[in-house]
């Protein structure tokens, strides 16, 4: 039995010496040290030996097993070290090679225009305020001098909610909300979403954004001339120094007198082109002196204050600024469009 054990040991050490891969070492571990190894088989015959021989053979086989296992471990470590020493040939790292650029997100073009509008008005001393998008009938219509059955309500097709409220049809509702809580003098702008029950086309959306402006002071302190110069400064800030504006008489129930204002086309500088439909002017919004009925509806004494209000669509401004001919592109979520800004 001693000879058999020594023969197994000799063979095992020879084979371990020749093994070159992890897999080969693992196969030898099973063959010489596993539960079904040759050495384990030999030990099954121990029961037929005398106690003295059993002790001697038992010790020899344990010692042999330890030697084989230690050689297997050493061989495994050797193979691992060899692999690591060659890794630089397989996996070269050039630390000077430029890395892959991760695509960065950026602001939506409407957000960019919104920030530009805010910055220009803030530089003229305006406070930026926000209010709710779902309004009650009073603040959206009645307080703005559009009581129930007033024909002017038809000017803005409205989505009605079951509870009688409306997704606001214009940012003018913020005028009433602000004046209920603040006494003049003040100058504010408010930017946000508005909703109209309209069919969409290249220049109309049912959900778009507006900017509302309101300046109120004691009677005699606010004039159309002040307002015209503020709107003019704003347009120059957005479209360039050479931009001109003009006011045309128009009707909005919450202002008296009321105007629509146009800016000279920034593309053709007033010569006439495709963007301005050959007129040289682009219509941008409405404006006017605040109707005294609006002041009384928020609790101000009649004729104590005077004010000027204006409102314009943010998408329309962005279309002109970037030369976009279809308003629906802003909300379509097409990355090929958005990545251009
Ligand atoms: C108003 O909404 C008034 N509240 C503006 C105002 C404020 C007038 C203060 C006087 C004083 P209007 O419905 O014309 O007015 O809309 C104002 C601007 O919003 C338009 O000039 C246009 O730029 C934009 N706009 C109107 N309807 C749409 C639409 N369906 N899609 C995109 N933009 C629109």
pLDDT digits (tens, 9 = 90+) for 1-18: 788 888 999 999 999 999
Biggest CA pair distance of the chain: 127
291 close to ligand 1 (CB < 6 Angstrom): no
Q: Is the CB of 297 under 6 A from ligand 1?
A: no
**Phi then psi dihedrals of residue 52, to 5 deg:** -65, -50
Name the one residue in this structure whose structure tokens are 């061989």: 75
- 288: its two tokens: 């006017």
Query: Residue ranges of the alpha helices (H) in the chain?
Result: 2-18, 22-33, 38-43, 51-85, 87-90, 109-123, 137-140, 173-181, 224-239, 292-297, 314-322, 335-338
307-316: pLDDT as tens digits? 999 999 999 9
**Centre of ligand 1 from the C-alpha of residue 285, in Å:** 6
**What's the 298 CA to ligand 1 centre distance in angstroms?**
22
What DSSP character marks residue 204?
Answer: B
Give the residue whose CA is nearest to atom 21 of ligand 1: 285
Query: What distance, in Å, lies between the first and last C-alpha atoms of the chain?
Result: 86
C-alpha angle 299-303-304 in degrees, rounded to nearest 5? 70
Closest-lying ligand 1 atom to the alpha carbon of residue 312: 18
Q: Which residues contact 41 (CB under 8 A, 6 or more apart)?
A: none
246-285 tens-digit pLDDT: 999 999 999 999 999 998 887 788 888 877 888 989 888 9
Q: What is the structure's pLDDT at 222?
A: 94
- Look at residues 93, 186, 174 and name the one whose alpha carbon lies nearest to residue 132: 174
CA of 317 to the centre of ligand 1 (A): 12
Q: Is 208 in the pocket of ligand 1 (CB under 6 A)?
A: yes
Q: Give the distance (Å) from ligand 1 centre to CA of residue 169.
A: 9
The number of the ligand 1 atom at minimal distance from the alpha carbon of 175 is: 9
pLDDT at 282: 86
Residue 198, token pair as written in the block: 């309209």
> Ligand 1 atom 27: the closest Cα is on which residue?
204
Ligand 1: centre distance to CA 156 (Å): 9
Predicted pLDDT at 223: 94
Residue 328 confidence (pLDDT):
94
Reduced to 3 states, what is the DSSP secondary structure of residue 265? Answer: coil
Regions in the chain scoring below 70 on pLDDT: none
């Amino acid at each position: 039995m001693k000879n058999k054990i020594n023969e197994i040991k000799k063979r095992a050490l020879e084979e371990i010496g020749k093994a070159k891969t992890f897999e080969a070492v693992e196969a030898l571990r099973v063959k010489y040290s596993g539960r079904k190894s040759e050495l384990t088989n030999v030990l099954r015959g121990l029961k037929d030996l005398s106690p003295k021989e059993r002790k001697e053979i038992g010790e020899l086989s344990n010692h042999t097993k330890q030697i084989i296992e230690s050689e297997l471990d050493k061989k495994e470590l050797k193979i691992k070290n060899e692999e690591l020493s060659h890794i630089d040939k397989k996996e070269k790292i050039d630390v000077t090679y430029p890395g892959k650029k991760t695509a960065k997100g950026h602001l939506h073009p409407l957000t960019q225009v919104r920030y530009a509008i805010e910055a220009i008005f803030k530089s003229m001393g305006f406070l930026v305020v926000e209010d709710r998008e779902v309004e009650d009938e009073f603040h959206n219509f009645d307080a703005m001098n559009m009581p129930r059955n007033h024909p002017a309500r038809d000017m803005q097709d409205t989505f009605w909610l079951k509870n009688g409220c409306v997704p606001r049809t214009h940012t003018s509702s913020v005028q009433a909300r602000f004046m209920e809580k603040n006494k003049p003098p003040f100058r504010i702008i408010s930017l946000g979403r508005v909703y109209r029950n309209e069919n969409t086309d290249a220049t109309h959306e049912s959900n778009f954004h507006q900017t509302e402006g309101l300046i109120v002071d004691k009677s005699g302190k606010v004039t159309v001339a002040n307002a015209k110069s503020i709107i003019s400064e704003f347009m120059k800030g957005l479209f360039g120094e050479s931009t001109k504006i003009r006011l045309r008489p128009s009707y909005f129930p919450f202002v008296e007198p009321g105007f629509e204002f146009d800016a000279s086309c920034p593309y053709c500088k007033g010569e006439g082109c495709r963007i301005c439909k050959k007129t040289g002017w682009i219509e941008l919004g409405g404006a006017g002196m605040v109707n005294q009925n609006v002041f009384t509806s928020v609790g101000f004494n009649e004729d104590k204050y005077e004010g000027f209000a204006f409102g314009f669509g943010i998408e329309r401004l962005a279309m002109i600024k970037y030369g976009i001919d279809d308003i629906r592109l802003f909300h379509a979520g097409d990355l090929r469009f958005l990545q251009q800004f």
